[in-house]
């Protein structure tokens, strides 16, 4: 079984008086999962939402954060033509997320942890995090979880994968094993990343670094081991940022 996440408060479930008593006195940090709706080979369209929510719950319990409601709609790019994929424009997303972050500052939070599940809006999140300091004095750390523990892919699965490959499949297996069926992973084909070419749309809904390596697996034990390593790495990164902010800047 996956380790239970413990009980962190959820912003949407508090009433305003509870919130007033908790923020910032007891909780001065908030964690927000951000994803998009996008085709992912044999795993769900909401993969980029499901995994950040899973990690955010665990980080909130470990690091004493309040869990904010998820931003579900993001900037989907090269997989947009695949059925079920959805996007908003980059400018809209940047503006919306910037204002959402600034809002947390106005609510009394001092620190923001973003758990991002999607590679298509990395620049927009960076700009929004920079603006959140300017607009609201908010300190923030953005975690692109799938980039954080390449050594864990090697250690657990023997290779790095890519989009909708071994890492994201492990994330969904750990979070929602009922949503991953071996039959839908069977016979999946992947396109290999190639820095020398740009393809629009990407020719497969699974992408890997090296042909034949890092393909999806339904192994629950390996998935849980891999996600535990990812969680550890994310927690370390946040703790390191918090310690620096506290010691250097008194925040």
Kindly tell me which of 193 and 245 has the beta carbon lying closer to Zn ion: 193
Chain residues in the site for Zn ion (CB under 5 A): 47-48
Provide, rounded to whole angstroms, the least separation between the CB of residue 48 and Zn ion.
Answer: 4
H-only helix segments in the chain: 16-22, 47-63, 90-107, 122-136, 150-157, 166-175, 182-185, 220-249
Which regions of the chain does DSSP assign to beta strands (E)? 29-34, 66-67, 111-116, 139-144, 191-192, 207-208
Kindly tell me which of 29 and 171 has the beta carbon lying closer to Zn ion: 171
Nearest-CB residue for Zn ion: 48
Within 10 A of 7 (CB to CB), how many other CB atoms are there? 9
> To 10 degrees, what angle do helices 166-175 and 220-249 make?
90
Are 205 and 164 contacting, i.e. CB atoms less than 8 angstroms apart? yes
Are 164 and 47 contacting, i.e. CB atoms less than 8 angstroms apart? yes
* DSSP category for residue 10: B
Torsion of CA 20, 21, 24, 29, to 10 degrees: -90
Provide, rounded to whole angstroms, the least separation between the CB of residue 47 and Zn ion.
Answer: 5
Kindly tell me which of 48 and 224 has the beta carbon lying closer to Zn ion: 48
Provide, rounded to whole angstroms, the least separation between the CB of residue 14 and Zn ion.
Answer: 30
Provide, rounded to whole angstroms, the least separation between the CB of residue 79 and Zn ion.
Answer: 9
Kindly tell me which of 109 and 146 has the beta carbon lying closer to Zn ion: 146
Provide, rounded to whole angstroms, the least separation between the CB of residue 56 and Zn ion.
Answer: 16
Beta bridge partners of 33: 115
Kindly tell me which of 48 and 160 has the beta carbon lying closer to Zn ion: 48
């Amino acid at each position: 079984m996956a380790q239970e996440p413990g009980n962190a408060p959820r912003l949407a479930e508090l009433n305003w008086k509870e919130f007033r008593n908790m923020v910032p006195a007891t909780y001065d940090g908030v964690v927000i999962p951000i994803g998009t709706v996008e085709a992912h080979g044999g795993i769900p369209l909401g993969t980029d939402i499901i995994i950040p929510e899973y990690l955010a719950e665990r980080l909130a319990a470990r690091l004493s954060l309040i869990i904010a409601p998820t931003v579900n709609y993001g900037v989907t790019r090269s997989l947009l033509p695949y059925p079920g994929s959805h996007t908003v424009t980059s400018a809209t997303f940047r503006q919306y997320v910037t204002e959402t972050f600034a809002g947390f500052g106005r609510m009394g939070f001092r620190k923001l942890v973003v758990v991002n599940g999607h590679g298509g809006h990395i620049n927009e999140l960076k700009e929004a995090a920079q603006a959140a300091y300017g607009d609201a004095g908010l300190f923030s750390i953005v975690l692109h979880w799938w980039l954080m523990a390449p050594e864990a892919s090697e250690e657990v699965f023997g290779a790095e994968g890519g989009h909708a490959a071994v890492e994201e499949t492990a994330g969904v297996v750990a979070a929602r094993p009922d949503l991953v069926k071996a039959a839908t992973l069977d016979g999946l084909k992947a396109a290999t990343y190639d820095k020398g070419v740009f393809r629009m749309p990407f020719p497969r809904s699974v992408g890997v670094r090296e042909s034949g390596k890092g393909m999806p697996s339904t192994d629950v034990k390996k998935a849980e081991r891999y996600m535990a390593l990812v969680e550890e790495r994310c927690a370390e990164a946040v703790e390191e940022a918090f310690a620096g902010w506290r010691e250097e800047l008194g925040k």
